[in-house]
Amino acid sequence: MDHAAVADLEELRSRLHGDLRLPGEPGWDESRGAWQLLADQYPDAVVDAADVHDIVETVRAARALGLGVAPQSTGHAAGALSDLTGAILLRTSRLDGVSIDPVAGTARVGAGAQWGAVAAATAEHGLAPVAGMAAGVGVAGLLLGGGLGWFARSHGLASNAIVSFEAVDTQGRMLTVDEHEHPDLLWAAHGGALPVILTEVVIRLHPVPQLSAGSLMWPAERMAEVAEVWRVWIGAVPRSVTSVLRVLRFPPIEQIPEPMRGRSFVGVEAAIQEDAETTERLLAPLRARDPEQDTFAPMTASGLAAVHGDPPEPSGAHGAAQLLTEITPEVVATLLAALDEPIAAPLLSIELRHLGGAASDASVDGAVATVDGEGLVYLVGMVPFPEALQPVQAAADAVVARLRPYGSARQVKTFTDSPAPAEELYGAAAQRLRKIRADWDADGVLRAVHPLG
């Protein structure tokens, strides 16, 4: 940056309630870092906004300087963000307020809040949000990506729960968006690409009076047997059950508990919204196969984040996904055969999520209101150092290639770790999203994950 630009950014710093950091300043590397450690972000500046005032000031300053703005709370999806050269990285994590209206059955949530805090606050009222499977994922990112979680089959996508939201547009104006005010933006927010900066959102909550969740695990040698039992089982379960068939390969490191260290397992994880008697009956076919571990127990929705075991701290990992039109015996056999090949060895976690149910029902008029498939395969390998990336990528690509003949042409946004074509993410909605972007951000100020192209 030239001296004039630096001077202008220093002027912006003086107007902020939060913080601004420039390259080389103390704390620069920490401020630009994302939860996804493989994303090495190099913006021209980082603003850690303390409030909406800071967002308005940042947008106005960026426009005057000819810079872009990239809003980000946690950075879980940072790998899908375009180059940040010539942009300000706008951190919203301090806008983390959560308030519950138990009478209306809604939550008002700041753009920087994380799902764990929302689930905990709503549980006090016997309510639950449609959230993801990890407590540390940001609310805004998951909502604007559609969002799949433990209530996918019973309540659909997380984004379908958006009632209204507050935002700042690329002119620095504050907006209220709902079905009457700027309905085009509400439509775009339902799983699409939002050309304004969300600052606060109101989401619909759901009563969850009965819930049990946990996992059953067997040694990996029983993978084919367990996978077939699970495939038959999901054909008979009600929408109140969302489950995952999962293969886990634990490295021989001290951080892993002794009973699992250095071993591989096949497991079934599930959340079941039924009474105790029905839950026992539903689990009986799986338990009849004598799992080595059984952690199923009654819990509140706030406890669900522990079931899937996602890392609580930032990590370097590479993932790839394939949406499946159906979960057939041939599909399951193809997946297991691919995992048995030597090239697949670097993959730590391989999961097949059961979708359908409410995830296939369009409960709102939105850009992406459903998922076009019965199952989703997601593959992850850890990348603790740069040289580990290539074998993990090769492993994930090889498995996805084997599954592609059974796959949908669409991708699921929150499971797509690098920029993807708009038509694959949004289908026929892509053109309308481009029109909305042209209406609200004609100059391309916003830098967002998965650019519309």
Whether 325 contacts 407, CB under 8 Å = yes
Q: What residue numbers bound the domain in which 287 lies? A: 212-413
CATH classification of the domain holding 8: 3.30.43.10
- The pTM is what? 0.94
Q: Is residue 391 part of a domain?
A: yes
- The three-class DSSP label of residue 206 is strand
Dist. CA 144–CA 196, nearest whole Å: 11
Answer with the residue of higher pLDDT: 392 or 82: 392
| Tokens 């983390």 sit on residue | 96
Whether 163 contacts 47, CB under 8 Å = no
Q: Are residues 243 and 317 in the same domain?
A: yes
Q: Are residues 319 and 400 in the same domain?
A: yes
Q: What does the pLDDT read at residue 313?
A: 87
Q: Is residue 453 part of a domain?
A: no
Dist. CA 49–CA 232, nearest whole Å: 50
pLDDT tens-digit series, residues 208-220 = 999 999 999 999 9
Q: Are residues 258 and 153 in the same domain?
A: no
Dist. CA 245–CA 189, nearest whole Å: 30
Instruction: Decide if pLDDT at 64 tops 80.
Output: yes
Q: What does the pLDDT read at residue 254?
A: 77
Share of the chain above pLDDT 70, in %: 99
Q: Are residues 273 and 164 in the same domain?
A: no
Count up the domains in the chain and report the number. Answer: 3
Q: Is residue 444 part of a domain?
A: no
Q: Are residues 106 and 188 in the same domain?
A: yes
pLDDT tens-digit series, residues 259-296 = 788 899 999 999 999 999 999 999 999 999 999 999 99
Q: What does the pLDDT read at residue 362?
A: 84
CATH classification of the domain holding 258: 3.40.462.20
Q: Are residues 254 and 293 in the same domain?
A: yes
Q: Are residues 231 and 104 in the same domain?
A: no
Q: What does the pLDDT read at residue 82?
A: 83
Q: What does the pLDDT read at residue 318?
A: 94
Q: Are residues 372 and 431 in the same domain?
A: no
Helix, strand, coil abundance in the chain, percent, nearest 5:
35, 25, 40
State the chain's maximal CA–CA distance in angstroms: 71
For residue 252, name the pLDDT band (cuts at 50, 70, 90). confident
pLDDT tens-digit series, residues 355-369 = 999 999 988 999 999
- Kindly give the residue spans of alpha helices, DSSP state H, lying in 156-261: 183-189, 223-234
- The three-class DSSP label of residue 129 is coil
Indicate the helix (H) or strand (E) that contains 385.
none
Q: Provide DSSP, 63-103.
A: HHHT-EEEEESS-TTGGGB---TTEEEEE-TT---EEEETT
For residue 250, name the pLDDT band (cuts at 50, 70, 90). confident
pLDDT tens-digit series, residues 319-362 = 999 999 999 999 999 999 999 999 999 999 999 999 999 999 98
In the chain the first and final C-alpha atoms are separated, in Å, by 27
Q: Are residues 339 and 255 in the same domain?
A: yes
Amino acid at 417: D
Q: What does the pLDDT read at residue 163?
A: 98
